[in-house]
Amino acid sequence: MKYKYLEKNPSRILGLFDLFLRRLVVCCIYAASQSGASVDAADQVVTRNETLFGKIESVSTEAVQLLPRGSASAAREIGVSDVVMIQFSDEPQDLIEAKRRLVKNNFVGALEAIQQVDEDEIQSASVAVRGEYAYVRAVAGGHVAMGVAGKISSALRSIKNVIDQFTRSIHYYELLEVAGDLEQALGRYDEAASWYKKIAIGPPPMVVRAGRLKGDVLAAEGRHLEAITEFEKVQSVDLVGGFVEQEKMMACLGQAESLLSLGRFSEAASLIRTMLSGSHPEEVPIATTNVLLGNAYSLLGRSLAEMKQDQDALIAYLTVDLVYGDAPETHAEALFQLFQLWNSGGYPRRAEEVRKRLMKTYPQSTWATDLNPSTK
């Protein structure tokens, strides 16, 4: 028989075969773990369009230099306006989670995650990781504090400390913006404008953002004619790219709000309709575009309601409700306005349905409070 040896020593052969399989499995597991480790050990740069892996060689206020994984060529430069998030290989997982929540504007969630980070681990970490930790705490804390008057000054001090301590942070311009926003929340418009003006020293896309923020602060002061001029400048800038296009859309909405404040309702409606009829840049993330379009339809609804065009206003607010309800505050306002319009149009049952949805979905919103019988 060809395989006589197997008949004579089956247990030994099977034992050797089993040992071979065990060693093979161990080698495979080790190789997989090494492969996984190499993936986990990579730094990451999340841009507006992709996630890049490699080694972050340097960071400045204007760009990140990343040597792509597996590349022997020169490092790739990613400009600040394209950077959504950076991640170093030795960051604690809770810090990474906090940054992910921050990117999604979940500021309370970001603070909750950052509080889980072991501070002793941060103290022994690299300067880069300490900078990321300080940035998240300051920015998330700043956004949360804007709704609490007693905490704004403390949050502003934290922002200033991070700016002074981490002078080369890729988050420098974002920190400047939050500082300006906090000053606005305190009603200190000149100080806010000073913070925004520092952003204009940055690369061209940041200059565009600074112009839009200047328009915002002028509008907040009630200087709407000057604000409109600034918003028009932003929209006429001869620059392309998703970041700039997003700023142009925001400037258009800011201009519409100023027109509404001036009682120029027809002009506001015309401006928004022109924006809505145009093509929306593919470079702007869909989630961001949807939020901006929700704001646009909400402003259109306000314009039309002011002109007593209730049916068209109803359609505008229904569009927010059914299509662009991504931003809670905008969606809550749309539901409130729909309640008013359904009531005035003689549809009390639909009005009540909308009221209940508003109360259930956004119970803490000021729009819900206005329709809550128990608060009357």
Give the model's pLDDT for residue 374. 62
Give the model's pLDDT for residue 12. 42
Cα angle 187, 192, 194; round to 5: 145
Q: What confidence tens digit (pLDDT) does each residue in 41-90 have?
A: 699 999 988 999 999 999 999 999 999 988 777 899 999 999 999 999 99
Which CATH class name applies to 298-376?
A: mainly alpha
Per-residue tokens: 324: 């662009």
Locate the DSSP E strands across 81-237: 83-87
Per-residue tokens: 156: 């502003």
Give the integer Cα–Cα distance in Å for 348 and 341: 10
Q: Is the per-residue pLDDT at 26 higher than 90?
A: no
Q: Mean pLDDT, to the nearest integer, of 349-373?
A: 91
Closest CA to 128 of 186, 187, 64, 197: 64
Q: Is the per-residue pLDDT at 34 higher than 60?
A: no
Q: Is the per-residue pLDDT at 17 higher than 90?
A: no
Give the integer Cα–Cα distance in Å for 359 and 179: 33
Give the integer Cα–Cα distance in Å for 310 and 344: 9
Cα angle 81, 243, 180; round to 5: 70
Q: Is the per-residue pLDDT at 307 higher than 60?
A: yes
CATH superfamily of 87-199: Tetratricopeptide repeat domain (1.25.40.10)
Mean pLDDT of the chain: 88
Give the model's pLDDT for residue 371. 80
Residue 366, φ and ψ in degrees, nearest 5 = -65, -30
The contacts found for 236-243 with CB under 8 angstroms, 24 or more apart, are 237/208, 237/211, 239/204, 239/205, 239/208, 241/81, 241/205, 241/283, 242/48, 242/49, 242/281, 242/282, 242/283, 242/284, 242/285, 243/48, 243/81, 243/82, 243/205, 243/208, 243/209, 243/283
Q: What is the pTM of this model?
A: 0.84
Give the model's pLDDT for residue 269. 98
Between 62 and 283, the more confident residue is 62
Are 86 and 45 within 8 A, CB to CB? yes
Are 354 and 338 within 8 A, CB to CB? yes
Q: Is the per-residue pLDDT at 232 higher than 60?
A: yes
Give the model's pLDDT for residue 198. 97
Q: Which residues contact 124 (CB under 8 A, 6 or more apart)?
A: none
Q: How far is CA 221 from CA 134, 187, 227, 297, in A?
A: 31, 9, 9, 24
Give the integer Cα–Cα distance in Å for 373 and 194: 44
Least confident of 21-30, 189-198, 367-376: 21-30
